[in-house]
Every structure is written in structure tokens, then in C-alpha cells.
């Protein structure tokens, strides 16, 4: 009996460990593939030049900038609204029908396929609000796509702030708002920022929503305003690997683009880790 | 919604009472720090306190004792309206502080809590410096003047018997202090806003005996300036520090009298059983 249990334990342990290693393996294979084939292409001119000669040469500068601009709009739109909504839900909302409705909406919003967001963006931002296919329309569409993620992670970090912080502040005569402002939000910030950046880094790599709302196949010049079309790294990658007239020839460029996109996303994630570490240290939590 | 309606009802009832009563009697009411009448408290459907009547003298130390879940902490939290933060809380009855109904619509809860401070069971310093912890309440009141703040920090920490231990390192994080020091810092933080009453919810239950003794000494030293209402699980503590003791059981106030009397010849059998350790 005892022996059987021991074997059972060992088998269980081995199988969960293997699964965990498998996850690591997937990431390693993807990274190895892209880094080995893409890093050789990366040079200053690849980053700083526009594509040239029918997109068989040159760099990805407009796509890189386009992605940065769109991401910036996404941040400006979704971060404040998402954090505010999380504060409402966690600090103010009572457990009643309307709160349950809001929470259900957020959960469902998170489950909507990104291509549906694209369609929605076309209807609302591009057409109804007259933004046209533009950086603005794409940024806002990605913003809505990111919102549920930001709200959920922000609410989670607010929840982690002990009730004793709130009680201590209230008992000293602080209003609820003062308590949130001085004694809840600052300590929740590391978690909120981390979640926010991770959500936004996901949005930066999205293709379907911008496909509908503003990304362009080829624009050698940078957009002049927020209401112009733009190039973006994920879409550029798609073009270079499936739509180009000489796919074999531009394969290295595709890998270079993928490499850059991954560096960008990893950079954002690294930024999130650094911010979290620094703020944690500052508040000694 | 119920709560608001309840408050209005209470307010109205209070008005009626005050009109009926002769003026002289009102004056004596004001002389009580707290005058609690017919207080029922509910969390959702559960009734936590049943028809509590209690008068608390100013500049006195009152101990609230009773087994866990008897409602003593809930009673304490009625006095600075901390129960307001709990979902499903409702009540009947009246709580007068210096003759004024604290559950009246016009009561500014924040002002009440400045006058009726609270120290919690688990030390809960904010993850800020010692200095910032002490001035938190003053900052809320809009005090910016550095010398006033410095003075308040020194005075409060001295009153809380913590000054000598931390005076050279006020910028240190409060979380680096020991549990007992943290609790004294929380007391200093409460004193800094110059309250009239200090409510304490088992302030020493998370502390070692030496820190506990320090907190008790502190309460003694401060009793000239403040009214203390202290929830405690510790019979010896209650008998050592308080002038009055209230014994709660299952939401009822069983007995409320001079501490000496409660601990020597209690009127109720239940009280006697509890203080002699037969249950609880």
C-alpha cells in the first residue's frame, strides 16, 4: 500500500514537472527560431529606413513608428478609464444587480474575439465618429480591447491592499476618496502598472483590429496626423510572410520584423517588471 | 436604503424626545461622553447587538469584555461609525456623543472620527515613514506648516511613549518597527489629531507581555486627557486598567458596572462564570 502511494506520488510529480518544462520549451523554440533567423537582419538601417524597392529592401521604420503611435493612443485611452472603473468596482460598488451586470459585461468583453473588435471599431470610430481609417481609430479600438484586462488586473491589485490600510485612514477622519488617493492607490500602483503594461503589450501585437481600422500595406512616409493611416509591425509581418510577391526573398525581413516586435513586447514586459520592483522597494511591501 | 430610512427614523425619534424632555435633563445628557439607547445592530439578517443601553463618562477607562462573537467589537465600531463600511449593516436606536446624535443625517462622519479615534487589534501602520504616519491625520486637515508638524510629531510620540526609541530615525519606515512599537505608533497617530475619545479594539492581543504592559501604562498616563473604551479578551487587563467594565454575551449587555464590583461581586451568574473562566 505504502509503496503504491509512493509510486503514485512520483508519477504525479514527474508529470506536472514535465508539463511545466514543456511550456518553457515552447517559448524557447519560438524564441530560438525568431532570434536565429531574425537577429542577423537587424541593423540601424533596418530600424531607421522605410521599405524600398517594392518592399524587398530597406527597413521597417514607418511600421515601428506606427505601432508606437497606436500603442500610445491605446495607453492614453484605456489606462485611466480602466483604473477608474476598477476603483469604482472595488471601492464603491455595492453587491447588487447593476454591479453584477457591469462585472458580467467586463468578463464578456474579455472574451470577444479581436476581429469583432475590429468590426466594432469600423462601425463606431471609423464611420459613426468620422475618424476614418486612422491611428486614432485603431488606438481606440485596441484601447477597448485592452480595457477588460486593465480593469481586471487593477481590481486584483486593489483587492490585495489590506482592509486595515483603509480602516486606519478612515479612522483618522479621512474621506473615502482621500483614503483611496493616499493610502490605497499608491500601494496598488505596482500591480496596476504591471497589469496595464502587460495588457498594452498584448494590444501592440494585435493585427485583426487594426486591419479594419487603419493599418496600411505600404506608406513610405510617416503619418502627418493622428487621423492618417499608418503601417504597423504585426501587419507588416503578415504582409511579408503571406501577401508579398516574392515571399522567399523577403523571408529574412519578415523574421527581422518578428524579432523587432518580440523585442518591443519583451521590452514592455521588462519595463513592467522594473517598475514593479522599484515601487515595491520604495514602499517596502 | 434601509439604513438611510432607519437613520431618518432615528433622527426623528430623537427630535421628538428632545422636545419632550426638560432642559435641565438635556444638560446632564451632554455631560456623558457616550449615551447609547436601545441599540440593535444587524449585519444582514444576523442580529449582533440586542437592545444595548449604556452611558459612558468622559475621562474614564471602560473595558468591554466577553467571549468571541459577543458583539463587543461591533459595539465599539458603532461609536465612530466604522460599521458604516460594512455591507449589510443596519441598526435601531440612538448613539449620542456629548448629547449629539452621531447617526443623524447632518453628522459629518469624518469630523466624528477625528474626535473619536480608533486603534485596531492588529497594528496597522501605513507603509510610510514614522513621521508621515504621525502627521497623516494633520495633513488631511490641511496642516502644511513644517514647524507645527514637527512639534505635533514630537508631542504625539512622547505621549505614546515612543519618542525616545525613534527620535533619531523618524524617516525610517514604520514597518521596520517591532509589533509593540508599531501599535504605539498607531496610538501616536491617533493622538496627533487630538481626539476626545480613543477606542481600542484588543490593542495588545497581538503583542508580547512587555509591549502589553507598555500599552497599559500608556493608557493610564493618558486617561486624564482622553476617554478610553477598550475591548479586551484579557480579564487581568480589564481589571487592571478600567474603572468601568461592560460584559457582553451573545449580543446582550449582561452587566455594566464599576470594574471593582464586576470582578469581586458580579450581580449576574453569567458574568461570574465568565470572569472566573468557566467558559469563554
Q: What pLDDT is stored for residue B249 in this prediction?
A: 93
* Global pTM value: 0.81
Burial of B192 (0-12, 13-18, 19+ CB in 10 A): buried
Q: Compare CB distances from B126 to A95, A165, A175 and report the shortest one's residue.
A: A165
Q: What pLDDT is stored for residue B280 in this prediction?
A: 61
Q: How confident is the model at residue B116 (pLDDT cuts 50, 70, 90)?
A: very high
Report d(CA A195, CA A199) in Å as an integer: 6
Residue A96 pLDDT exceeds 70? yes
The CATH class of A45-283 is mainly alpha
Residues of B with CB under 8 A from a CB of A: 80, 82, 85, 87, 110-111, 113-114, 117-118, 120, 122, 124-127, 136-137, 140-141, 173, 175-176, 186, 189-190, 193
Report the pLDDT averaged over residues A114-143: 93
Q: How confident is the model at residue A226 (pLDDT cuts 50, 70, 90)?
A: confident
Question: Are B82 and A173 within 8 A, CB to CB?
Answer: no
Report the pLDDT averaged over residues A211-236: 87
Q: Is residue B246 part of a domain?
A: yes
Q: Compare CB distances from B110 to A173, A182, A183 and report the shortest one's residue.
A: A173
Q: What pLDDT is stored for residue A95 in this prediction?
A: 81
Among chain A residues, CA nearest to B190: A172
Residue B7 pLDDT exceeds 70? no
Q: What pLDDT is stored for residue B56 in this prediction?
A: 94
Residue B91 pLDDT exceeds 50? yes
Q: What pLDDT is stored for residue A20 in this prediction?
A: 94
Backbone angles phi, psi at B120, to 5 degrees: -95, 170
Among chain A residues, CA nearest to B120: A168
| CATH number of the domain that residue B103 is part of | 3.40.50.300
Under 8 Å between Cβ of A143 and A79: no
In chain A, domain spans: 1-38, 45-283
Domain of B12, in residue numbers: 2-275
* Shortest distance, CA B25 to any CA of chain A (angstroms): 31
Residue B8 pLDDT exceeds 70? no
Report the pLDDT averaged over residues A143-162: 93
List CB contacts of A240: < 8 A, sequence separation 6 or more.
A55, A247, A250, A251, A253, A254, A257
Q: What pLDDT is stored for residue A249 in this prediction?
A: 85
Q: Which three cell numbers stand for residue B14?
A: 430623537
Among chain B residues, CA nearest to A163: B124
Residue B17 pLDDT exceeds 60? no
Q: Is residue B16 part of a domain?
A: yes
Report the pLDDT averaged over residues A243-272: 88
Question: Are B120 and A164 within 8 A, CB to CB?
Answer: yes
Q: Compare CB distances from B113 to A94, A171, A183 and report the shortest one's residue.
A: A171
Report d(CA B97, CA B30) in Å as an integer: 8
Which residues in B lie closer than 8 A to residue A284 (C-beta atoms)? 127, 173, 175-176
Q: Is residue B215 part of a domain?
A: yes
Q: How confident is the model at residue A30 (pLDDT cuts 50, 70, 90)?
A: very high
Grid coordinates 498594452 are at which residue?
Answer: A200
Among chain A residues, CA nearest to B124: A164
Q: What pLDDT is stored for residue B21 in this prediction?
A: 41
Q: What pLDDT is stored for residue A277 in this prediction?
A: 83
Q: How many domains does chain B have?
A: 1
Mean pLDDT of chain A: 89
Alpha helices in B194-253 (DSSP H): 209-222, 235-241
Residue B270 pLDDT exceeds 70? yes
pLDDT digit string (tens) for B60-73? Answer: 999 999 998 899 99
Question: Are B136 and A284 within 8 A, CB to CB?
Answer: no
Q: How confident is the model at residue B28 (pLDDT cuts 50, 70, 90)?
A: low
Question: Are A172 and B175 within 8 A, CB to CB?
Answer: no
Instruction: Tally A–B CB contacts below 8 A.
Output: 64
Q: Is residue B137 part of a domain?
A: yes
pLDDT digit string (tens) for A51-86? Answer: 887 777 888 899 999 999 999 999 999 999 999 999
Q: Compare CB distances from A172 to B140, B173, B176 and report the shortest one's residue.
A: B140
Question: Are A172 and B127 within 8 A, CB to CB?
Answer: no
Q: What pLDDT is stored for residue A57 in this prediction?
A: 81
Between B10 and B217, name the one with better pLDDT.
B217
Q: What percent of chain A has pLDDT over 70?
A: 98
For an interface test with A, which of B1, B87, B90, B128 has the most A Cβ atoms less than 10 Å from its Cβ? B128
- B111-115, B209-213, B276-280: least confidently modelled range: B276-280
Q: Compare CB distances from B193 to A173, A178, A187 and report the shortest one's residue.
A: A173
List CB contacts of B128: < 8 A, sequence separation 6 or more.
B136, B173, B174
Which residues in A lie closer than 8 A to residue B189 (C-beta atoms)? 168, 172
pLDDT digit string (tens) for A3-15? Answer: 889 999 999 999 9
Which residues in B lie closer than 8 A to residue A183 (C-beta atoms)? 126
Q: What pLDDT is stored for residue B209 in this prediction?
A: 87
Residue B168 pLDDT exceeds 80? yes
Question: Are B137 and A172 within 8 A, CB to CB?
Answer: yes
For an interface test with A, which of B109, B124, B200 has the most A Cβ atoms less than 10 Å from its Cβ? B124
- Left, alpha or beta for A214 (phi > 0: left; psi -120 to 50: alpha)? left
Q: What pLDDT is stored for residue B23 in this prediction?
A: 45
Report the pLDDT averaged over residues B113-137: 94
Q: Is residue B280 part of a domain?
A: no
Q: What pLDDT is stored for residue B31 in this prediction?
A: 82
Which residues in A lie closer than 8 A to residue B80 (C-beta atoms)? 171
Q: How confident is the model at residue A194 (pLDDT cuts 50, 70, 90)?
A: confident
Amino acid at each position: 500500500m505504502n509503496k503504491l502511494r509512493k509510486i503514485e506520488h512520483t508519477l504525479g510529480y514527474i508529470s506536472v514537472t514535465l508539463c511545466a518544462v514543456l511550456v518553457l520549451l515552447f517559448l524557447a523554440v519560438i524564441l530560438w527560431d525568431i532570434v536565429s533567423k531574425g537577429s542577423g537582419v537587424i541593423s540601424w538601417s533596418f530600424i531607421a529606413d522605410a521599405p524600398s524597392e517594392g518592399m524587398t529592401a530597406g527597413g521597417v521604420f514607418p511600421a515601428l513608428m506606427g505601432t508606437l503611435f497606436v500603442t500610445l493612443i491605446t495607453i492614453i485611452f484605456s489606462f485611466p478609464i480602466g483604473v477608474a472603473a476598477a476603483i469604482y468596482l472595488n471601492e464603491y460598488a455595492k453587491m447588487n444587480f447593476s454591479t453584477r451586470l457591469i462585472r458580467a459585461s467586463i468578463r464578456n468583453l474579455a472574451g470577444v474575439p479581436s476581429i469583432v473588435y475590429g468590426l466594432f471599431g469600423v462601425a463606431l470610430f471609423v464611420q459613426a465618429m468620422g475618424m476614418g481609417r486612422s491611428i486614432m481609430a485603431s488606438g481606440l479600438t485596441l484601447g477597448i480591447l485592452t480595457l477588460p484586462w486593465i480593469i481586471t488586473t487593477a481590481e486584483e491589485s486593489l483587492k490585495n491592499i489590506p482592509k486595515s490600510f483603509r480602516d486606519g485612514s478612515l479612522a483618522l477622519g479621512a474621506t473615502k476618496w482621500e483614503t483611496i488617493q493616499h493610502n490605497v492607490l499608491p500601494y496598488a500602483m505596482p500591480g496596476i502598472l504591471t497589469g496595464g503594461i502587460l495588457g498594452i503589450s498584448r494590444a501592440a501585437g494585435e493585427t485583426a483590429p487594426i486591419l479594419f481600422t487603419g493599418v496600411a500595406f505600404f506608406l513610405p512616409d510617416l503619418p502627418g496626423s493622428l487621423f492618417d493611416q499608418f503601417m504597423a509591425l504585426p501587419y507588416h509581418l503578415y504582409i511579408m510572410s503571406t501577401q508579398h510577391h516574392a515571399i522567399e526573398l523577403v523571408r529574412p525581413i519578415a523574421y527581422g520584423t518578428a524579432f523587432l516586435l518580440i523585442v518591443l513586447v519583451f521590452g514592455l514586459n521588462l519595463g513592467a517588471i522594473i517598475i514593479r520592483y522599484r515601487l515595491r522597494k520604495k514602499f517596502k511591501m | 436604503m434601509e439604513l438611510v430610512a432607519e437613520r431618518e427614523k432615528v433622527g426623528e425619534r430623537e427630535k421628538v424626545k428632545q422636545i419632550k424632555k426638560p432642559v435641565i435633563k438635556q444638560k446632564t445628557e451632554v455631560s456623558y461622553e457616550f449615551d447609547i439607547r436601545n441599540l440593535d445592530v444587524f449585519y444582514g439578517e444576523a442580529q449582533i447587538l440586542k437592545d444595548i443601553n449604556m452611558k459612558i463618562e468622559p475621562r474614564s477607562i471602560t473595558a468591554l469584555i466577553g467571549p468571541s462573537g459577543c458583539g463587543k467589537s461591533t459595539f465599539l465600531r458603532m461609536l465612530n461609525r466604522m460599521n458604516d463600511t460594512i455591507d449589510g449593516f443596519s441598526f435601531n436606536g440612538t448613539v449620542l456623543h456629548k448629547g449629539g446624535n452621531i447617526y443623524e443625517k447632518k453628522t459629518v462622519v469624518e469630523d466624528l472620527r477625528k474626535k473619536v479615534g480608533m486603534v485596531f487589534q492588529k497594528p496597522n501602520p501605513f507603509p510610510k515613514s514614522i513621521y508621515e504616519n504621525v502627521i497623516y491625520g494633520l495633513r488631511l486637515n490641511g496642516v502644511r506648516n513644517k514647524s507645527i508638524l514637527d512639534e505635533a510629531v514630537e508631542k504625539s510620540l512622547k505621549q505614546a511613549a515612543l519618542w525616545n526609541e525613534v527620535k533619531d530615525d523618524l524617516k525610517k519606515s514604520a514597518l521596520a518597527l517591532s509589533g509593540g512599537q508599531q501599535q504605539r505608533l498607531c496610538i501616536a497617530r491617533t493622538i496627533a489629531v487630538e481626539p476626545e475619545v480613543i477606542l481600542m479594539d484588543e490593542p495588545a492581543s497581538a503583542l508580547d507581555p512587555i509591549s502589553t504592559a507598555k500599552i497599559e501604562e500608556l493608557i493610564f498616563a493618558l486617561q486624564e486627557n482622553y476617554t478610553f473604551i477598550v475591548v479586551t479578551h484579557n480579564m487581568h487587563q480589564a481589571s487592571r486598567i478600567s474603572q468601568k467594565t461592560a460584559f457582553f454575551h451573545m449580543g446582550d449587555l449582561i452587566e455594566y458596572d464599576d470594574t471593582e464590583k464586576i470582578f469581586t461581586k458580579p450581580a449576574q451568574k453569567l458574568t461570574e462564570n465568565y470572569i472566573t473562566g468557566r467558559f469563554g
